[in-house]
Amino acid sequence: MGEKALRAGLFLLSLVLSLGPILAAFASEGWDLRSTLIGDLGPLQDLTSEGKEPEAEVGEPQFLGEVTGDNLPPLLLPLTLSNPYSFSLEVENQSMDLFCQEDNVRVGMGRLEGRILEPESGENLTFLVEFTPEGSRHLLERHVRGSYLQAALELRGDFLLNLYGLRFRVPQRMSFWVYAEVVE
Amino acid sequence: MRELNWFGVIAGPLMILLPFLGAWWEFELGTGAVDLSLSPFTFRLEALGEPVRSALVSYVCLGASLTLVISGIFLLLASLCPRRWWSARLLRFGATKLLWMWVSFLLLLVLLSAAGNFLAARFLGQGFGLPYLTGSSTPVLNVGEAVLILPLRMSLRWSFFFALVPMVLGVLSRIYHRRFAED
């Protein structure tokens, strides 16, 4: 009798210990499968929700000096980047090639110092664009109309983002116009 | 001298202790993008610095902890009184639970890595290079034009290896206990 009762008791105990937690988990979450398997995803939810993407807007470029017939100074290109997520994003140091859009000729390079984008905010960043001697020559010889330099330029390269050690390399093309008086 | 099943006398308390020794295995993706600490008794997941909860896994871990504590108590009682009529039954209940937990956990981890590697090769058409159980790798995913670099690391903690002690002693206690039944 005792032996049988013990055997039955141990069997019931095994059953309760294996099925009990599963039933308790479902009961605690109101028998909802999704919330029982995985609860609040927190900031991860942002990544899966549609319409939330970082956006970049290029501003007005500004030369750091006078443009002359034989000198094209570096220019600053403002860039507004928005972070729609509830976690911070790191923009890594960037280095992108600068092309003359019309002739598809490399004319320089743009550099951007890395910055942390705070959650749900926009940050103003600035590319420092420097022209190569060949690039300067190309722009000053081919894109000066009257006494004005007018050219459509394009930054091409990989935009590097860092999210808690995960690195995203996104190919980017950012085009903008330069318009400046060429001083003799 | 009092008869004891020495293997069980040592294994029992160690089994009771084991659920409180922390995670057996850790997984890190990036630097805090995903941190997972896992054992049959522990589940801690953090994504982007925030904890992510799973009621099912938490309750299953609680159930496994209770199971092992009860197994340890039964094993200890059976080993202290090996000639009592209930001894063999209690020992049979408690001695090999940890063995199955340990083997299942190991298989689960190996299967997860194998499934990850298989699915990446099948659906993404690229090798993922997930390590098995322990190690690090940096899979590179091409998503459209973008490239995603995922440095990850897996490691087994000391508690995983410590679990081998009560596990082996538990199995030995079951074999050794036969002598009390035969006498």
pLDDT tens for residues A98-145?
A: 999 999 999 999 999 888 888 888 888 899 999 999 999 999 999 998
C-alpha distances out from residue A153 to A69, A119, A129, A171, B18, Å: 19, 31, 11, 17, 65
- Among chain A residues, the shortest Cα distance to B32 is held by A164
CATH 3.40.50.720 is the classification of domain A44-183: no
pLDDT(B61) > 90? yes
Task: Kindly tell me if the per-residue pLDDT of A1 is higher than 70.
Answer: no
A179 strand-pairing partners: A150
Nearest CA in chain A to B69: A17
**Count of the separate structural domains present in chain B:** 1
In the predicted structure, residue A14 carries a pLDDT above the cut 60: yes
Q: Which of B55, B132, B136, B126 shows the shortest CA–CA distance to A39?
A: B55
Q: What is the pLDDT of residue B27?
A: 96
- pLDDT score of B169 more than 70: yes
Chain A residues with CB under 8 Å of B62 CB are 21
B29 — contact with chain A (CB < 8 Å)? yes
Residue B1 lies in a domain: no
Residue B98 lies in a domain: yes
Report the percentage of chain A scoring pLDDT > 90: 55
Task: Quote the mean pLDDT of chain A.
Answer: 89
In A, what residues contact B, Cβ < 8 A?
2-3, 6-7, 10, 13-14, 17-18, 20-22, 24-26, 28-29, 35-44, 87, 158, 163-171
pLDDT (mean) for A38-58: 75
What's the mean pLDDT in A61-79?
A: 91
The domain spans of chain A are 2-37, 44-183
pTM, whole model, 2 decimals? 0.84
Q: What is residue A51's predicted lDDT score, i.e. its pLDDT? A: 67
Beta strands in B84-174 (DSSP E): 135-137, 140-143, 146-149, 152-156
